[in-house]
Amino acid sequence: MDESKELEQLGQFFHDFRVGRGLTLKEAAGNWSAATLSRFEHGKVDISTEKAAG
- The total of structural domains in the chain comes to 1
For the whole model, what pTM was predicted?
0.82
| C-alpha dihedral sign at 38, 19, 51, 34 | positive
Domain with 15, as residue range(s), is 3-53
Residues in CB range of 28: below 8 A, 6 or more apart: 18, 37
Q: Are 51 and 31 in contact (CB under 8 A)?
A: yes
Residue of 4 and 34 predicted with greater confidence:
34
Mean per-residue pLDDT of the chain: 89
Q: Is 50's pLDDT higher than 90?
A: no
**If we measure between CA atoms, which residue out of 27, 25, 54, 21 comes closest to residue 40?**
25
